Structures are given as C-alpha cells and as structure tokens.
Structure 1
Amino acid sequence: MHTDFDRCVRAVQSKDARFDGWFFTAVLTTGIYCRPSCPVVPPKVANMRFYPTAAAAQHNGFRACKRCRPDASPGSPAWNTRADLVARAMRLIADGVVDRDGVPGLATRLGYSTRQVERQLLAELGTGPLALARAQRAQTARLLIETSTLPMSDVAFAAGFASVRTFNDTVREVFGLTPTELRRRSANGRSGATPGQLSLRLPFRTPLCPDNLFGHLAATGVPGVEEWRDGAFRRTLRLPHGHGVVSLRPEPDHIGCQLRLTDLRDLSHAITRCRWMLDLDADPVAVDEVLRADPVLAPYVDKSPGRRVPRAVDGAEMAVRAVLGQQVSTAAARTHAGRLVTAYGEPIEDPGGGLTHLFPDLEALASLDPASLAVPGSRRTTLTTLVAALAAGEIDLSVGGDWHRARAQLAALPGFGPWTIETITMRALGDPDAFLPGDLGVRIAARELGLPTTPAGLTQHASAWQPWRSYAVQYLWATGDHPINRLPSAAVA
C-alpha cells in the first residue's frame, strides 16, 4: 500500500487508525516517522515519505515518533494473507529466526539462497533481513526497559543485542532517547516488576469480537496446557531458550498480556506467538467488507464484526491435536490430548494457576507407544506417521511454512482427509482462505441458513467469500449454540 501515495496521504490526513501497521509516514523536515493515526498535526504533503515497515524508515535515517510510538503499532496484515517468499520471510523474522540462526538460517528455512532472500526483501521493502531483525530487537528492548526493572545490561542481552554499546546506540538512534531516559519517561518502568514477569498491552485493529476467539481457545483447551481462569486464557509456551506461561485477557482496546518467562531472551518470540494465536494483525474491515456482501452472512457480520481465527502457538502441536480430534467431540479430543500431555509432556510449575505441563515435543512424541492411545488403530497409524514426518523435517508447519506445499504433503499421509488438512492449514499455518465444507458445525449452519449442504455445493457458493473463507467459517460456527462461540464465565478454570 505504501506505493499508493495519494491513498496514504488521505489516511494520514484523516488520522485513520485502520492503516496503522500497513505503512509508516516519515517526515523530511523533522526526521521522524509515525503511524498514520499520529495525533499531531499532519505534515505538508511535500514533506511526506511512506515506508512499508518501521525497519525501512529506520534504515533511511528516521527515528520513531515519541508521541504515537509507531514501533508498537499492529503488524501489517499483508504478511499473514500471502504465501510468497517475502511474506513467509517476514513471518519468520518476526518469529526470531534471524536472531537465532542468522540470515543463512532464514534462507535455508525458505528454501532459497541468502542472496535471493535479501534481494527480494530489498526490492519490496527497501531494506534487508538484518535491518528488519534489528528493528524488532529495538522494540523488544523498549518493552523490557519500560515494563521491568532489569539492569540495562540484562535488557541488552535479553533483547538480542551482541553488546551493551550496540544496544545503547540502537535505542538512541531509533527512539531519540537513551535507555535510561526511556525508562525515566515510563511510569511502568518505575513499578516493582518481578524479573521474569512482564505485563504488556497487545494492540489490534478494531473491531475485535472476543467471543469466538477466546471461547474457542477455552472450549478446546488441553488440560494442563491451557485453561480459562479469572477472565483470562492461560497456557504454557515451549520457547527456544526455555518455557513460559502467558495470560491473555480481552480488553476494549487491547489484549492484556502477562508473561512469566524462564529466559527473557524469549520475550519477542513469545509475543509473536501470542499475536499469531489471537490473529491480532488481521484487517477486520477488509474481511467483513467481503463477507457482508453475502446477504446470508451480513446479519451475523453486523451483529458481531471483527471475528478472528483462533490459531495455534505451535504448528506440530496443532497437527497432533487435529488428528486426535478426528470424528470425535470437542470433549473427547480434549481428553485424548490431556492423556498425551500427562504421559509425555514436560512438567512445569505454575504459581498463578493450574497449568502443569508443556505440550510434548516431537522427540517425546516419537517415543510414544501407539497402543497406549485410546483411539482406533487407523488413527494411531495416522498420528505416528505424522510425528515421524514432522520429526524428519519433511513437512514444515511453522509460521513460515508454505500453505500449498503443506497441503500436498499432508494429503500424501495416511488418514489425512480434507477436514484435517484444512484445519491444520487454517489454525497452524494461518491461511485466511482455508475452508471446511465437510465440518459438522459448518454443515449444520449451512442447512439452517438455506445454503447448499453438500461439500461441492457449499464450496461453490463460498467462492464469493474468497480470500477470507477461514473467517467465514467463524461466522458460520457462530450461528450455533456451542461453547466455542462465547466467553466462559470469568470464574471458570
């Protein structure tokens, strides 16, 4: 969008928050960059320049506005609606791949040469993977500076900087303030925060309907790994340097996020996973505009606009849970997954609730005894074959995975039909156009709404909902009275 100069100008002049994260406005006369909704008086048009990312603006010598904090705006929805090289690279960079494995590691995950990845990013975004990762480190540093009382040296290394000097120089260059000045300006920075426990605000584009989002996560939660407690969804996280426990609470203008981490280097990764799980970078206006054009869906869109697709924090976990959920009720799927967690999950302590385990990793699942699973023999074969393929790296279900390739690879495994494949593609890989015409809830909704009830007929009708059929599924499910469609009681654990 940043290449459409006139459209960007209109968004800035109207202070339209819907475009926050879509692009950033740099002002030549002040040397700063802002989000479109910045409350200051818009600059003269001749002094505006537009960039697709905060990293690109920083790369061109602009520093972040202290008023609107553009570095903390929602992420661009473009990276979650595309499956090309640039979009997959952006998802992986946000997931911390460059910080952990460098640009060569990123290129290997994408299946391209380092030079090709750098060239593609530079051509579309005006900057390369190192600058994009640097911008993310700066934002992580700012969060730690403002929400903890950690010494600055600890903040520097937790945010991924190689030295305190690089940390100081980057913070000063990006934010126009030293780390000490940033902490002094922040009221949170003076609070008695406990190391390892952080309270954050996760922004999103309005509107957001929390009912199906948190209702689905709570209703399908795996015992010991996920729970709904005191009005918040809580779960354990397996992270690169340790593990964490996150509590996510829906608020009118943000998601309240409380994190307890065993290693603060995992902060950026944990935040990215939480945003991914809650689909917080979606553009609900664009989605609902397409779905509202269908008179059958329009009343449901108008009633509860801004439905999100509840995703998974880990693709392999989601795939295993999808197999366990084949042809059984939500309660039975939770029971099967809970038994798996008890037998093979890693125990953890949760002082703030009732979480007990991390979901088993692939190494643990590879050692499971299929006979111990109370499921049909064919499903045991499906599960063990899936685990073997994932452990061997034959299928990539990470946030940077290729949707189309993953579909074909899953279809080649025994026991993988359209429902399982589309569920994994929707919730693990984040394809906004995955569709479940054979799902029981979708079929019931179709019958009640007078839509075609055969998979072929419903798929043909749903072609008008492209490229947002994953969101259409959320509205179809919402026509029924199921726990996935409503927030649990605040006191339920």
Structure 2
Amino acid sequence: MQKGMHTDTERCVRAVRSKDARFDGWFFTAVLTTGIYCRPSCPVVPPKPENMVFHPSAAACQQAGFRACKRCRPDTSPGSPEWNQRADAVARAMRLIADGTVDREGVPGLAARLGYSTRQVERQLLAELGAGPLALARAQRAQTARLLIETTALPMTEIAFAAGFSSVRTFNDTVREVFALAPSDLRARAPKRTRGPAGTRGPVRTSGTLASTGTPAALSLRLPFRAPLTPDNLFGHLAATAVPGVEEWRDGAYRRTLRLPHGHGFVALAPRPDHIACRLTLTDPRDLTVAISRCRRLLDLDADPVAVDDRLRTDPVLAPLVDKAPGRRVPRTVDEAEFAVRAVLGQQVSTAAARTHAARLVTAYGEPVADPDPEGGLTHLFPSPEALADLDPETLALPRARRATFTTLVRALVDGDLRLGVESDWPEARAKLLALPGFGPWTADVIAMRALGDPDAFLPTDLGIRRAARELGLPSTPAALTARAAAWRPWRAYAVQYLWATDSHPINVLPA
C-alpha cells in the first residue's frame, strides 16, 4: 500500500469490483448517482467506474455531501494503517484526534501538541485527507454516536454528550446528515442482536446506563481488524507480563484497568475468528471513544498484515515462520508512560521478577479501584508519573544504578522533558531516551516498539532474538543481524514477533 492510495483510480476500482476487505479503511468510495459512500468491500453491486469518486477519509466523504451506506457501514471500517506506521505531523495528528484531543482541547490544543500553528495543521490535514481536524473529529463523534445508539439503551441526551457533542441539537443534526436517519430511527432499525458485516462492530444490546452517576453498565462491542490475525503471541505476551492488580487473564480474556481523561475504566478483550470481543465499563461515558482507540492501539488492530507479511516473506528464513502463523501483531500499550516505567523495572531481570517489581509499585502508589466483576482481581490503576515523583528510591528493591534510571525517567516524564504520548516524534523520543542515564539501545527500542508504536523498531541485542537468529542460521551478532534486517524494513518490529515466536516462552502461547 502507498500513501494517497485514493488517487490511484484504477487500483481503487479493482479493489471495489473484487470487494476486497483488505482495503477497508484505506479509502472510501463515494457514489455520484446515489449520494452515499461505502467501504471497498461493500456487498452491493459495484457502480459503474464513471460514477465512483474516491476519498481518503469518511470525513472527506461527509464534507462532500455523501451519506454513509446503511449496508456496509463504512464508519465501522478498521482505521487506516497509515496513522500507525508513520511519524510525520499528519499521522501524529490522526493519532491525537483518535485519542480525543480535539474534543478535549480544540484545534489549538492539537496544534500545540504537534508544535505547529493551527493553520499549518489544518492545511496539512486538508491536503492529505480532504478534511480538517474539526471535520475528522466530527466524523469520529458520529461513529461513536452510532455505536451507542445501536448497542445501548442510553437516552439520546446521554449519548450526545458521551459521543463528544456540545449539544443535543448538534448531535441530532450530525446523525441526520451522516446517516440520513434521525437518531431514534437509527435505533429502531437496529435489531437486538446482529453480527453485522464480517469484522465490524455488530450491535449487541446492553442494559443499564453508562452515565457517571450510579453504577455503570458494561458495553459489549466488536473490534474489527484486517485478516489474518494470529493471536497467540499478542495475547500470550499481555497475559505473561500482566501486573497483578492492574491486569489479568481470566475466562479466556485479557482484562485490565484503564486510566482515561475523565475517569477510569475496565476492559476485557478476547480473540474471536473475525473480531476482538471487547467489554468496557467506564466511570464516565465521555471516555468511550478514547477507550476504544487505546484498546485498538494495544492490540495493533489497524495494522496491514498483508503488506507486513509480504515484505517479510521475501527473506527465505522468515518465509516459513510467516506462512505457519501469518498476521502476527505487535503487543503495544494503553499508557506509554506506564510501559516506559515497566521497561526500566524489567531491565536484565526475568519476566516474573519484572512483574513482582511492578506489583509492589502498584500496591504502594497505584490508585485503588473496585473491579465491577465480583470475581475479578483488578484492584488498582497503574501509578502515574506524578504519583511516583516523590517515591524514595531507597524503597525500590533494585540495584542502585537502576534506581537512578527509574527516578530520572519519572522526573523527565513529570517535567515534560520527555513526551511519550501518541503525538511523539519517534526518532526524537528515542534520542531523548538514549540520553537518559541507564538507557541503552534495548530499553529505548522496546519502548519505541511497544509504547510509541514504531513498526520498524528492532532489538538486535535482545537475548531471545539472538537465540532465534542462531537457531535459524541468521547472523547472531547485533551488527550483522541489523545489516541482514535492513531487508525487512519498514516492518522490523513485526519480524521481532516472528523471531520471538520460535521460542517456547509463555509470551508466545495463548493462555487456556
């Protein structure tokens, strides 16, 4: 795939005619004769090529006056892989918009986080996506509204504010414009339970309320992804490294607590053949969009596995590994600062020891929460950098040098000298990490890979990688392996997953 695919009309037409779901989210098809826009895999008979125009985003389609197709539900497509494989300003802006920055801080807040003027940000987004930040955020709000309308019994007033709208009137107008139906009609059309198109968020009715008053109810939804997806190392890694009190594997699902902008939440994620089953409980409904975005990022669900695997298959050593279990994802994080702290705690110790160190921090400095599941074991939010700022390093059961590394990292995060959010510039953040005492290439690169989301991060000094390299006949010294891995770019972080998977370590096994 390449940037700006919507400009390749011939290729887009071929994708629409073949109803190829791999292209869902890469571009959208607007039909001139009907005034609707669809995903490439829409099951209806494709229109004539002269009646199709292609847009890079749902927001661009909406700005051009097109309505969302009621059959293929293009607003539920997986997100474009572009925004998670690039570090330029547009990609960083899209990650911030998905994380709700425009709704919370406005366009000036978005621009400030990127280090640009509002005019520069608007110009760049309009040039590449055909829509500015307000329109892109509006499209996201419409998608969240539709999800809540169709899957919950929430009153429309609560849905309006939970989806991020400033008023009920704006909510009503937007839903009518985007979906050509009033909110009440949209709900009436939704059956009590339906699968929906493969891989989409099919409606599942819930009861109760998501309001911040009273006990919030769980919301069940389906997180789509591009096939194939091999869940073993993805969920195995999360389960094997789970910090007691913050994370657990139970009843076939990975569960954890979430620190969110307006409150906190709990999520349970379980792999299914054509989607990820997601069950969310939030203390404030305004956090729904952000929670979904962070869960998708955690599981790397917007990746393009076909592009990744096609590149890695060009290496005859990796090809059998890819063919055996295609579609491996990079296990990432819902909280970049949390992961950085845990990476330091895990330096030169076993997985079990790293969990023990993290669990002690959680017990001493984490914020207590009540698990909505009476049989669950989630007890705390992972402590924020601010909560760790006054920690006495002598209380850490770590070598003295690592205590200094820990406190220096926390101080840099609190002071803002180090920013590890979704807006991070990957090379800049990696350079700042390496400048901290006690940060070598392994720690910086594992944070780049799993927290920052750099798809090309590589770990040539990792013991598991070097062991796999020797067993496969690849160069095992860091310099020689890095040279060989140049052919795997820009997907070396995925090559790491395939190499790690050659070991029998619990991180590679889907828990029972």
- What band does the TM-score fall into relative to the shorter chain? over 0.9
User: Does structure 1 conserve the Cα–Cα contact (< 8 Å) formed by 2:67 and 2:178?
Assistant: yes
- The alpha carbon displacement at 1:192 in A equals 4.8
Aligned to 2:175: 171
- The letter of the residue matching 1:475 is Y
Aligned to 2:496: 473
Aligned to 1:409: 432
Tell me whether 1:308 sits opposite 2:329 in the alignment.
Answer: yes
Aligned to 1:273: 294
Aligned to 1:298: 319
Q: CA 1:192/1:86 → structure 2, altered by over 3 Å: closer, same or farther?
A: closer
Whole-angstrom distance in 2 between the partners of 1:160 and 1:4: 34
Tell me whether 1:67 sits opposite 2:71 in the alignment.
Answer: yes
Aligned to 1:193: 207
Whole-angstrom distance in 1 between the partners of 2:28 and 2:61: 7
- The alpha carbon displacement at 1:369 in A equals 1.4
Q: CA 1:192/1:403 → structure 2, altered by over 3 Å: closer, same or farther?
A: closer
Tell me whether 1:377 sits opposite 2:400 in the alignment.
Answer: yes
- The letter of the residue matching 1:87 is A
Tell me whether 1:115 sits opposite 2:119 in the alignment.
Answer: yes
Whole-angstrom distance in 2 between the partners of 1:333 and 1:256: 29
Aligned to 2:21: 17
Please state whether the residue corresponding to 2:7 is helix, strand or coil: coil
Aligned to 2:419: 396
User: Does structure 1 conserve the Cα–Cα contact (< 8 Å) formed by 2:328 and 2:497?
Assistant: yes
Which digits, 9 at most, give the CA deviation of each residue in 1:169-215, with x for residues without a partner? 00011011111111111124794522232001000000000000000
Aligned to 1:254: 275
- The letter of the residue matching 2:500 is W
Of 459, 472, 493, 1:449 maps to: 472
Please state whether the residue corresponding to 1:233 is helix, strand or coil: strand
- The letter of the residue matching 2:383 is P
Q: CA 1:23/1:388 → structure 2, altered by over 3 Å: closer, same or farther?
A: same
Whole-angstrom distance in 2 between the partners of 1:11 and 1:351: 44
Please state whether the residue corresponding to 1:195 is helix, strand or coil: coil
Aligned to 1:155: 159
- The letter of the residue matching 1:362 is P
- The alpha carbon displacement at 1:467 in A equals 0.3
Q: Which runs of 4+ in 1 moved over 4 A?
A: none
Aligned to 2:368: 347
Aligned to 1:284: 305
RMSD: 0.9
Please state whether the residue corresponding to 1:428 is helix, strand or coil: helix
Tell me whether 1:437 sits opposite 2:427 in the alignment.
Answer: no
User: Does structure 1 conserve the Cα–Cα contact (< 8 Å) formed by 2:157 and 2:168?
Assistant: yes
Whole-angstrom distance in 1 between the partners of 2:9 and 2:392: 60
- The letter of the residue matching 2:472 is L
Whole-angstrom distance in 1 between the partners of 2:399 and 2:385: 21
Q: Which runs of 5+ in 2 are unaligned?
A: 193-202, 211-217
Whole-angstrom distance in 2 between the partners of 1:34 and 1:252: 24
Whole-angstrom distance in 1 between the partners of 2:456 and 2:253: 28
Whole-angstrom distance in 2 between the partners of 1:156 and 1:42: 34
- The letter of the residue matching 1:214 is F
Tell me the TM-score normalised to structure 1 length: 0.98
Aligned to 1:238: 259
Aligned to 2:234: 213
User: Does structure 1 conserve the Cα–Cα contact (< 8 Å) formed by 2:29 and 2:54?
Assistant: yes
Tell me the TM-score normalised to structure 2 length: 0.95
Whole-angstrom distance in 2 between the partners of 1:348 and 1:303: 41
Please state whether the residue corresponding to 2:258 is helix, strand or coil: strand
Aligned to 2:508: 485
Aligned to 1:338: 359
Aligned to 1:81: 85
Which digits, 9 at most, give the CA deviation of each residue in 1:295-349, with x for residues without a partner? 1111110000000000010110010000000000111111101110010000001
Aligned length: 489
- The alpha carbon displacement at 1:100 in A equals 0.4
Aligned to 1:26: 30
Whole-angstrom distance in 2 between the partners of 1:451 and 1:373: 39
- The alpha carbon displacement at 1:351 in A equals 2.8
- The alpha carbon displacement at 1:147 in A equals 1.5
Whole-angstrom distance in 2 between the partners of 1:8 and 1:41: 15
- The letter of the residue matching 1:360 is P
Whole-angstrom distance in 1 between the partners of 2:53 and 2:243: 48
User: Does structure 2 conserve the Cα–Cα contact (< 8 Å) formed by 1:147 and 1:193?
Assistant: no
Whole-angstrom distance in 2 between the partners of 1:190 and 1:309: 28
- The alpha carbon displacement at 1:143 in A equals 1.0
Which digits, 9 at most, give the CA deviation of each residue in 1:398-439, with x for residues without a partner? 112100000111111100000000000001110000000000
Whole-angstrom distance in 2 between the partners of 1:190 and 1:275: 19
Q: CA 1:10/1:118 → structure 2, altered by over 3 Å: closer, same or farther?
A: same
Whole-angstrom distance in 1 between the partners of 2:204 and 2:346: 47
- The letter of the residue matching 2:56 is P
User: Does structure 1 conserve the Cα–Cα contact (< 8 Å) formed by 2:206 and 2:219?
Assistant: no
Tell me whether 1:102 sits opposite 2:125 in the alignment.
Answer: no
Whole-angstrom distance in 2 between the partners of 1:315 and 1:219: 19
- The letter of the residue matching 2:126 is L
User: Does structure 1 conserve the Cα–Cα contact (< 8 Å) formed by 2:78 and 2:302?
Assistant: yes
